[in-house]
Chain A
């Protein structure tokens, strides 16, 4: 019945350990998810222009060479087919990259939210602990008075 602060210290340590484990796991999962999410973005970016020997993106889309071989594109050559294909390609590429980036952002937000919620739970848990402690003190005080 007597007030024992060590009991609450034990609970506080448990809360902290739980929060730490959850935060560490979340951070690792975030790392994996970001790696996984960044991969299609990189692939999409590289797929459009190819890469230069120095490792950078090329200046001419890969699409152009195939149309050029068929005589639909080249110097002094203009065709509606090529124009439409280029516009469609640009549109699709932007959409795919946009989707991939948004997916990655969404995933990151999910892990951030999990992190934040873990922290909030930890803070709320500490406050619950303090409330319990105050209630226990009051209860003990009343019990002691009742013994008289």
Chain B
């Protein structure tokens, strides 16, 4: 039967406490210097052998004191464990379902915002470079506007040249007047009385032919002049078509390049979005894993028996990710009260020192001293038992 256990003997009888013999307390064989239990025990200077008349009372009181001290220590340990478990449960419960930590969420959010801003800035930079600029005064430019400006300047120069140089070659061509012929002998024939009538038709025919020839030539020049004028109009139209075609080509090219740039921007945004989603997913997974760890820790805490499930709220993980900004408030850790067992008295310490059961002299001496001096100080104990008193505080 365990020490200090109350046993009822028979019905109606008083509870009888069976006191353990004090000597049994010292039957803990101690190993000798060589590690073997030789039964000789520590060498104790036996200064007083004692009478033995008070040894029973001493043994009993000493045992009671030791039992009480053990019970108090056990109770204090239990109290500490319960208090610690409650505090631990409170701390862990406070960590439950907190989702993604605010700083992590903020970093991800900032990455999203700054990434989008970077992509937008890069797009604007490249778009501006693609668009370029043009200075008409110097005909210097870059990008689309530069190409457009140079093209326009080139066709403007052509247009100005064509308008400043209309076709004039055939309009200003030297004309050869129609030749004429006359009857040089007409005066002489008249003086001789010879009629000029037979000659006149020939003269008229020759002049008519010459006039016709001159007119044909003039008509030819006029026709060629008109052809050249039509060519001029054609050139002006060609210039206009060339200008429109070139500018349309530039516009098409520019739109294509801009479209490519926009596509790159969309790809970059999609990639960024994917990365952000990945980071959020990872953060969610980590939050869930952390929650699970907390749950496991709480379950393990429940397993110790120091707390009951009702002390854990919430008792389950919802698993729902917070859709709002999570503000982290670190749970306050309440320091559990430190329960310190009352210090043992020097006598209790002396009684707790194991002594070989065979060393009855020493046992008796201790019993006598404890009985005679229940409130002895440490100095008194050390004085009485110099060797044993080394560990007495």
Does B174 contact A112, Cβ atoms closer than 8 Å? yes
A15 at the interface (CB under 8 A from B): no
1/0 contact string of B347-371 vs chain A (CB within 8 Å):
0000000000000000000000000
A120 at the interface (CB under 8 A from B): yes
Return B391 CB to nearest CB of chain A, in Å: 92
Does A93 contact B185, Cβ atoms closer than 8 Å? yes
Return A91 CB to nearest CB of chain B, in Å: 5
Measured between alpha carbons, how far is A61 from B191 in the docked complex, in Å?
13
With known contacts A78-B193, A93-B185, A141–B146 Cβ distance under 8 A:
yes
Measured between alpha carbons, how far is A98 from B201 in the docked complex, in Å?
13
Which chain A residues (57-87) contact chain B, with CB distance < 8 Å? 59-61, 73, 78, 82-83, 86-87
A94 at the interface (CB under 8 A from B): yes
Q: Which residue of A lies closest to B186 (CB)?
A: A90
Does A90 contact B210, Cβ atoms closer than 8 Å? no
Does B257 contact A148, Cβ atoms closer than 8 Å? yes
Partner of B155, one of A87, A126, A134: A134
Q: How would you classify the secondary structure of chain A's contact residues: helix, strand, loop or mixed?
A: helix
Measured between alpha carbons, how far is A5 from B228 in the docked complex, in Å?
27
Which chain A residues (36-74) contact chain B, with CB distance < 8 Å? 45, 48-49, 59-61, 73
13 A-B residue pairs with CB within 8 Å: A83-B192, A83-B194, A87-B189, A98-B181, A98-B207, A105-B179, A124-B228, A127-B232, A131-B238, A141-B246, A142-B253, A145-B146, A148-B130
A22 at the interface (CB under 8 A from B): no
1/0 contact string of A101-141 vs chain B (CB within 8 Å):
11011101100110111011001101100110111111111
Could you say which residues of chain A place their CB within 8 Å of the CB of B43?
Answer: none
Known: A48-B185, A101-B181, A141-B151. 9 other contacts (CB 8 A): A87-B189, A90-B186, A91-B198, A98-B206, A109-B213, A117-B169, A131-B235, A138-B249, A145-B146
B224 at the interface (CB under 8 A from A): yes
Return A28 CB to nearest CB of chain B, in Å: 16
Could you say which residues of chain B place their CB within 8 Å of the CB of A97?
Answer: 181
Q: How would you classify the secondary structure of chain B's contact residues: helix, strand, loop or mixed?
A: helix
B residues near A, CB below 8 A?
129-130, 143-144, 146-148, 150-151, 153-155, 157-158, 161-162, 165, 167-170, 173-179, 181-186, 188-189, 192-196, 198-199, 202-203, 206-207, 209-210, 213-214, 217, 220-221, 224, 228, 231-232, 235, 238-239, 242-243, 246, 249-250, 253-254, 257
Does B158 contact A133, Cβ atoms closer than 8 Å? yes
Does A102 contact B239, Cβ atoms closer than 8 Å? no
Could you say which residues of chain A place their CB within 8 Å of the CB of B186?
Answer: 90
With known contacts A91-B199, A120-B167, A141-B146, A102–B162 Cβ distance under 8 A:
no
Q: Which residue of B lies closest to A83 (CB)?
A: B194
Measured between alpha carbons, how far is A123 from B220 in the docked complex, in Å?
19
Does A138 contact B155, Cβ atoms closer than 8 Å? yes
Return A2 CB to nearest CB of chain B, in Å: 11
Measured between alpha carbons, how far is A144 from B148 in the docked complex, in Å?
11
Could you say which residues of chain B place their CB within 8 Å of the CB of A91?
Answer: 198-199, 202
Measured between alpha carbons, how far is A146 from B192 in the docked complex, in Å?
93
- Top 7 A-B pairs ranked by shortest CB distance? A137-B154, A98-B206, A138-B246, A98-B181, A120-B169, A141-B147, A116-B173
Q: How extensive is the interface on chain A, given as a class?
A: 35 or more
Does B170 contact A87, Cβ atoms closer than 8 Å? no
Measured between alpha carbons, how far is A130 from B274 in the docked complex, in Å?
56
Could you say which residues of chain B place their CB within 8 Å of the CB of A105?
Answer: 176-179, 210, 213-214
Measured between alpha carbons, how far is A105 from B207 in the docked complex, in Å?
13
Return B344 CB to nearest CB of chain A, in Å: 92
Does A130 contact B189, Cβ atoms closer than 8 Å? no
Return A103 CB to nearest CB of chain B, in Å: 9
Return B65 CB to nearest CB of chain A, in Å: 98
Does A87 contact B249, Cβ atoms closer than 8 Å? no
Could you say which residues of chain B place their CB within 8 Å of the CB of A120?
Answer: 167, 169-170, 224, 228
Could you say which residues of chain A place their CB within 8 Å of the CB of B254?
Answer: 145
Could you say which residues of chain A place their CB within 8 Å of the CB of B210?
Answer: 98, 101-102, 105
Does A145 contact B143, Cβ atoms closer than 8 Å? yes
Residue among B170, B176, B196, B221 with the highest chain A CB neighbour number at 10 A: B176
Does B184 contact A48, Cβ atoms closer than 8 Å? yes
